[in-house]
Chains A and B, each alone.
Chain A
């Protein structure tokens, strides 16, 4: 009886975490280049119940589940739709690939191409991190530049001002979010040149959060939470009866 109390509690904790993750997806439903997360839970290892006082070969009753815990977070790298903005500094990637951004801590990757020019004319993210080209940073004199599908940057004077460093990863499970739209590569695999990626100027990639789906998940998680809460209340009532009423004369 007491064990089932704990079991229901682990379930509630998992549902709470799920709601936290879903809420973050909903919060970022309009964040350019955002990739939605999904929390996966799994059960704790089963325990074997044994009867005491019997020989070892006959003592086994069967497995007992001890509840559920959060297991892993899966980020969906499904592409968001491309939204036209008409701004020359807005870039979007169609296909598999990331922009490479240089931060103080090293190279980071992003799908959010809402870039700006800083005071020195470098192409930077909204947080001021420089965008990397294949040969150093991209420096432009004015926002009047063009960029082809392969990421070659041509400045206002018609000269080549570098080429964007577009990378892709075979196994995206090694990519982890850092906030500010950035991803870090935590696996050993090296970033490869993204050959299949196409750059579109004057577009932004919208978030891949599917609002209807997230709201459904939210409802499901909160109702499941409620179910477990009811179970706990029921167990509590039963325990109260066991303690206070059984054996009352």
Chain B
């Protein structure tokens, strides 16, 4: 009956979604290579209101609230943080490390905090979640004999131990449209039709001994949080008002 109630409800839900997005950003403020998202809104369908006298007016329209139109991810680079650990890598430019999960799916990540996995087949370079880091050819990186603490990386992404010849080159991929990538959790992204296919970078600019911090801006998120909270309570006020008006209509008969 009363459109205002449903309109206010849509606003409460939309603001709730935005609060969820902000909370997720804040929760990941210390996640290596995390990229912040934001929720965008759009107004919804408009219906024409009936004007009780002629002529009817097509511009006499009534909106029905708000929807989350998209969550947009910012791919701005985070600050490189020095760790001094030989297995920590940081991409200083656009690009992603190519990794492979247990289902042999290719994933892409900005998180370069790698580890060594000792398996039957040898020693492999893996992510913190145990996903294999892939080289330029798309195969797993086997670490040769030698002391891992002597692992060296040149800026082009070639790995070597000590003064020996490079044994592998990190596969650093870039996409035409990072915004089209789909988050797969565990700091990884999956390529989609919208992102375009992965293209290997020739000069990726990788830094050893650094990690990319999260690009969440705390002050911005808190500002958004306050705004969202206010918008939420305004919508809740509108909902209460609509409810009170309903009550008034229901109590029209005095006896």
A178 in contact with B46 (CB, 8 Å): yes
A229 in contact with B59 (CB, 8 Å): no
A23 in contact with B7 (CB, 8 Å): yes
Enumerate A75-107 residues with CB–CB distance to B below 8 Å: 85-87, 89
Q: Pick the interface stretch among A53-61, A130-138, A160-168, A233-241.
A: A233-241
Enumerate B215-255 residues with CB–CB distance to A below 8 Å: 227-228, 230-231, 234-235, 237-238, 241-242, 244-245, 248-249, 251-255
Tell me whether chain B's interface is mostly helix, strand or loop, or mixed: mixed
Per-position binary interface string of chain A over residues 95-123, scored 1 when its CB falls under 8 Å from any chain B CB and 0 otherwise: 00000000000000000101011110100
Q: In the assembled complex, how far is the CB of residue A218 from the closest CB belonging to chain B, in whole angstroms?
A: 6
B227 surroundings in chain A (CB, below 8 A): 30
B4 surroundings in chain A (CB, below 8 A): 16, 19-20, 22-23
Given contacts A69-B53, A232-B252, contact A23 B242 (CB under 8 A): yes
- Size of B's binding interface in residues, CB under 8 A: 66
A20 in contact with B3 (CB, 8 Å): yes
B64 in contact with A24 (CB, 8 Å): yes
Q: In the assembled complex, how far is the CB of residue A177 from the closest CB belonging to chain B, in whole angstroms?
A: 5
A30 in contact with B53 (CB, 8 Å): no
A215 surroundings in chain B (CB, below 8 A): 234, 237
Of B38, B176, B179, B238, the contact of A218 (CB 8 Å cutoff)? B238
B7 in contact with A27 (CB, 8 Å): yes
Enumerate B74-91 residues with CB–CB distance to A below 8 Å: 74, 76
The reply on B49 being an interface residue by CB < 8 A is yes
A121-B41 Cα distance, complex, nearest whole Å: 23
A179 in contact with B70 (CB, 8 Å): no
Q: Which residue of A lies closest to B3 (CB)?
A: A20
A181-B69 Cα distance, complex, nearest whole Å: 10
A186 in contact with B235 (CB, 8 Å): no
A31-B43 Cα distance, complex, nearest whole Å: 7
A121 in contact with B70 (CB, 8 Å): no
A86 in contact with B74 (CB, 8 Å): yes
The reply on A6 being an interface residue by CB < 8 A is no
A22 surroundings in chain B (CB, below 8 A): 4, 238
Tell me whether chain A's interface is mostly helix, strand or loop, or mixed: mixed
B11 in contact with A19 (CB, 8 Å): no
Q: Which residue of A lies closest to B234 (CB)?
A: A26
A27 in contact with B72 (CB, 8 Å): no
The reply on A50 being an interface residue by CB < 8 A is no
Per-position binary interface string of chain A over residues 217-249, scored 1 when its CB falls under 8 Å from any chain B CB and 0 otherwise: 011001001100100110011001000000000
The reply on B143 being an interface residue by CB < 8 A is no
What 9 A-B pairs are tightest by C-beta distance, nearest first?
A: A27-B11, A24-B63, A126-B69, A23-B4, A31-B41, A126-B70, A20-B3, A23-B7, A27-B66
Q: Report 27 cross-chain contacts, Cβ distance below 8 Å, ordered by A residue.
A: A12-B249, A20-B3, A20-B4, A20-B62, A24-B65, A26-B8, A26-B237, A27-B7, A28-B11, A44-B53, A69-B52, A70-B51, A71-B51, A73-B59, A117-B194, A118-B180, A119-B180, A176-B46, A177-B46, A177-B61, A177-B63, A178-B46, A179-B44, A180-B69, A186-B59, A222-B244, A225-B248
Extra 10 A-B pairs, beta carbons < 8 Å, given A70-B49, A126-B42, A179-B45: A12-B249, A20-B4, A21-B62, A28-B11, A72-B57, A72-B60, A119-B194, A142-B176, A176-B61, A186-B59
Residues of chain A at the chain B interface (Cβ within 8 Å) = 12, 15-17, 19-24, 26-32, 34, 37, 44-45, 69-73, 85-87, 89, 112, 114, 116-119, 121, 126-127, 141-144, 173, 176-181, 186, 211, 214-215, 218-219, 222, 225-226, 229, 232-233, 236-237, 240
